[in-house]
Every structure is written in C-alpha cells, then in structure tokens.
A and B are shown apart, each in its own frame.
Chain A
Amino acid sequence: MSTLRYALFTGCTARESTPEQMKSTMAVADKLGIELEVLNEASCCGASHLQDYDEFLSLVLNARNICYAESRGMTMVTICNTCQLNTVMTKHKLDSDPAMKAKVNEKLAEVGLEYKGTSDIKHFLYAIIDDFGLDTLKAKIVAPLSKFNIAPFYGCHNLRPSELGEGDNAYNPTSLDDLIAACGGKSVDYEEKNKCCGFHAELQAPRTAALLTGKVIAGAMDGNADWMVTPCPLCHLKLDTQHEHASEAIGREVALPVLHMQQMVGLALGCSAEEVGLQHHVTEVPV
C-alpha cells in the first residue's frame, strides 16, 4: 500500500481542552505509517453556532480551510464530528450551488485564494476503516483489548444527516463497533449509542444537556461497559467532564471513562497510557 497522506484539520478542541486527542492522533498515525500534515492556517469551523449568527461568514471561513487542503493536493482529515459536519456541509453547499460558490470565491479572492472543490473531507475514523483497512489494522494489533467491554458512542455529527455522512447508517451504525472488534475489544450494544450527548446546548440549556448526557452514560453502564469510546472530542468533553451534572439531572450516579477512538487504537497498537494522553482525563481511565 502506498503511504496514506492527509491534511489534518485539528479543530480547536484538540489544540485546547483535549490535548490527549492531538497526542493520540499523532501516535496512531505514526504507528500506522500515515502521514498527517497539520493545517495550521485553518480557523475554527464555527461549530454550528457561528452558522446561527452569520451563515455566509461561516461558509467563507470553512471554504478557506478547505482551500489549504486543496493547495496541498490532499484529502482533508478531521478529528472532530462537528468540524467534519460543518466542513462537509460547506463543501456540499458550494459544490451544489454555483452562485454561492462564486459569491464565496469573490471574498476568498481578497486574500488570494480560490475554492475549487478538489479535496475530499473525511473523518480520521473512516480514513482508518476505509483507507487503511481494518484487516491491515488487525495485523498490527499487539495489545488486544480483550479485557474490556467498550461502549461505542458515535456522536450525532458523525451520523446525521446521513447523506453527508460516510457510509454508516444513522439508525444502525457499525463502524465504531467494527473498530472496537479490530482492537480486540468487546463492543457493547446499547440504545443510546447513536443518540445525542447534549454538548451543543450545554451553556444555553444546561438541564436539557445534562439529562441527555446522563441517559447516554447510564445506557452504557447498563450495558456493562468498562469504557466508552468516541470519535468526537466534544462528546468526549461532555461525557468525561460533566458526569456530575448529569448524575444530578437524572437522579443516579453515572460516570465512565471515555476514550477518544484514537486512544483506543493507540493502546491496542502498543502505545503507553502516557503516549495516548490518558493522564488528561477528568474521569480516570483504569487500564
């Protein structure tokens, strides 16, 4: 297999509140021989909130981010569900609406850029599964996670709307379950695995958000999970740091270690706990 090379759009969270996500992404890429070139020029994707305030501005900024993957001639890889969705939504809009593309390009021309639509946008989860391949990954597993029941938590923006997704069915997704199995773990089936963690309304509607978080963790606990694993740093933050509010809201003590999918893969590939950044978790991860 020729070397896989991608332009990595880190998003903001990996650079700030989930440093372990950055560490584990790089560690996994290194172990798998995937080359990631960080898009340091990129701005925030707007996370759907800038979109509420000023949709056009968010299109321009996201188009600019994509331009930097295009100028490298690479597929853009994201490590956050919300970055993925907002970037792909921008691409979808510009590729299907020539008038809007022209309007956005008029702005980008001011800084000497042009959106062309030549780069694909892919979550790292699917780069591993579809491009690298689970069989190739399996062959590299040196520390199978056979001791652990692992509850996959897909995250909304990974699955919905499915026409912008990457092949998982929103009502019965399997990619993360397959990845868990490839790492030697046992995946936990539970009703909330494709539901919402509430992250995006945490400040605006704290009670709603806490109730949703609580239901998710409770579902995974009832499925006997030792850990949860997610491809989204925002879901991670919500589930890892907010379980006390969640417990209060649903009237039941809930808490589980929540790993980024890169951490899980990294551990199975033989990285140390330190290398994948487990020391950065608020809810301790026993390994």
Chain B
Amino acid sequence: MSITTQKINFKVFRFNADTDYLPHYKNYEIEVTSEEVVLDILNRIKWEFDGSFSYRRSCRHGICGACAIKVNGKGVLACKERMNSLIDLFGTELTLEPLTIKRAIKDMIVDKTDFWEKHEAVKPYLLNHIEAFPDEEHIVTNDEAEELLEADYCIQCGLCHYSCPVVDVNEHFIGPAAFVKAYRFEADVRDDAHIERLEIVNERDSGVWDCVKCMECAEVCPKEINPIEKITKLHNMLFTEGVAKSTVAVRHAVGFKHSIAKHGLLDEGELVRYSEGNIGVIKHVPVAIKMFVKGKIVLPWNMPKSEKLDEIKTLVKSSSTAKF
C-alpha cells in the first residue's frame, strides 16, 4: 500500500503546574502520514513546534505503559495507536489530552501517585513462607498458570484506572488496575495471603462493590486483560472463601438468586428491601411513591412469574456453586 498524507487539526492540552494557573489548548496543523502512530505526532509537536512540549514515553513497543494519553476521550497507548484508525473513527479534528486532567503536571504528563498507592494497597506481591532449602520443587501446573496469565500481562499504563468513572468521582475507589493485580496474586496457587488480600478487596473503601459495571476498563485496556472480568472473579472468591459480609452490596447480589428461585424473574421491590433491610429501605419510599402513582411498582401479589418455573427451581438447586 502506498503512503498517503492527510492534514489533521490537533487541539492539544497544554499546562505547566509550576507556572500556569489554568490549562489551555493549543492548535497544531500537521500533515499526518498513513504510517504514523500517535507517539510520532507527540514527537513532531515537540521537534517541529515547541521543544517544551512534554509527554512520557520509553519503550515505543507497547510494553512500558508510559505513553498512555487520551485522544477525543479514547484512552490509547500513544506508541501503539495508529493515526489512521483514529482518523477513521473521529475525522480530522483530534484533541490530545493527558489521562486525567485533574492530575495533570505538565502537558501529557500526569501525577500517578493515586494509581500507585492503590496498587500498593492490594499487596501486589507473592506472600509465601518459602523454606531456604526446600526438599522439593513447588510445581505450578499449566492450568494453574493459565488462571493468572492474562492478569500478569498488565503493564500498569493506567488507562483503565483513569477511564473508570468511579475513580473519577470517588478518589478512594481502588480501581480496575489494582483489582487486576489483586486477582493476579489471588489466582496464584503459591500465594499464602488469599484471605488477607480478599479482605482488602472486600472492605477497603467499599472494595470491589462500588464498581458500576460500565465495562470502560474492558474496552480501553491495550493488553486485552478485561479487568471487569477479573473483578467478577474476585467477587466470586469473596463468596467461595467466605469473606463476604452481610452488607447492602452483598445482599443485593445474593437477593437475585432468592428472587429467581421464587419467581424466575427478579422481584425489583423485594430486592431493594432485602438489600437495604427494613430500616434502610425507608429512604427509598419517596421515589417509590412517585413510581407507584405512575404505575411503575408491581405489588407483591401481582408479581409475574416465569413459565416452567419448576425448571428454574431445579436448576437453581442443582447448579448453585456459592453459599451465603
């Protein structure tokens, strides 16, 4: 294929925390060739327009995780993302921004302290009392290694963390990358800290439970690690290892099974009552009344049921793998 060029308008976030009160956006018009990646553009802005323009990069091979930025809101690894695919997706007006504007230090560079603090909080290392002179090898089977392999590919680029809407509005949320790391060691058969780490995952600042299931982390991860899938596995472990405690969030998950076993369908009103408890549910009454007036609340005696409910009951009984 021949190399083509195209004129692109880049609107670029500029900020220096040492000297600027507010950030601004600067426009650069650049002839982009069809072979370039986003990092080439960052380099050209620095080399051809403004030597003070700052960004992080190191490996240029999608492995160090340093070059993560956002283009029109889409999180990308600058060294991996082809300009052509961005132009196909967004057209010829592209906005380059750091991962999170809130934590910008200089241009594309952000302060990732919160990311590393949360990473640290989940004990991201193997906890094991290893004999100095063991009698035999500690063999990990292929299947056991498979379980953690994907999570082990994380390059700590921060794309999932800074694309997570919960991290954005709640600075305490542990975030998808640290959960991936927690899972990586939870799934490691050599690790002795299973319960200890699961307790962090369950309790520290509401742990996994505040995830809104938006799937942003799965979409953005350049290593296709699917963080939310690992988060679901952590949820499952909280139940199978008996770490889950009776909280609103835990009862909310368990309540689905109760309802399905009874009606096949979810009894929405009962789920709220069961999750919140008889006192907690009171705060939902004002909205519930408004909904009732509009015909949006099904009363318990009118609760619809699935046909062939006996099949569902049989399957709930025979296929359950967790207890609470």
Contact = CB atoms under 8 A, between A and B. Distances in A.
A159 B314 CA distance: 34
B89 A169 contact: yes
A36 interface: no
Given A12-B266, A17-B268, A53 B239 contact: yes
Interface stretch (B113-121, B183-191, B296-304): B296-304
A160 B287 contact: no
A162 B219 contact: yes
Interface string B277-290: 00000000001001
Contacts of A52: 232, 235-236, 253
Interface residues of B, number: 67
Which residue, B269, B312, B324, has most C-beta atoms of chain A within 10 A?
B312
Chain A residues touching B, range: 35 or more
Contacts of B212: 196, 198-201, 205, 208-209, 212
Nearest to B281: A203
B314 A111 contact: yes
A215 B166 CA distance: 12
Which residue, A15, A44, A156, A212, has most C-beta atoms of chain B within 10 A?
A44
Contacts, number: 207
A205 B165 CA distance: 13
Nearest to B284: A203
Interface in B20-75: 72-74
Given A160-B216, A162-B219, A241-B291, A212 B165 contact: yes
Q: Which secondary structure dominates chain B's binding surface?
A: helix
B294 interface: yes
Interface string A274-287: 00000111100000
A42 B306 contact: yes
A131 interface: no
Given A16-B298, A201-B210, A44 B256 contact: yes
Given A160-B214, A201-B209, A282-B290, 13 more contacts: A18-B296, A48-B213, A53-B257, A54-B322, A55-B321, A160-B219, A198-B165, A199-B212, A203-B248, A203-B252, A204-B210, A212-B169, A215-B169
Interface of A: 12-13, 15-19, 40-44, 46-57, 60-61, 64, 85, 107-108, 110-111, 113, 156-157, 159-162, 169-172, 191, 195-196, 198-201, 203-205, 207-209, 211-212, 215, 241-242, 244, 279-282
23 contacts: A16-B268, A16-B304, A17-B297, A19-B296, A41-B306, A44-B265, A52-B235, A55-B233, A60-B315, A61-B316, A107-B318, A161-B215, A171-B74, A172-B72, A191-B73, A198-B165, A200-B212, A201-B209, A203-B272, A203-B276, A204-B206, A208-B166, A211-B169
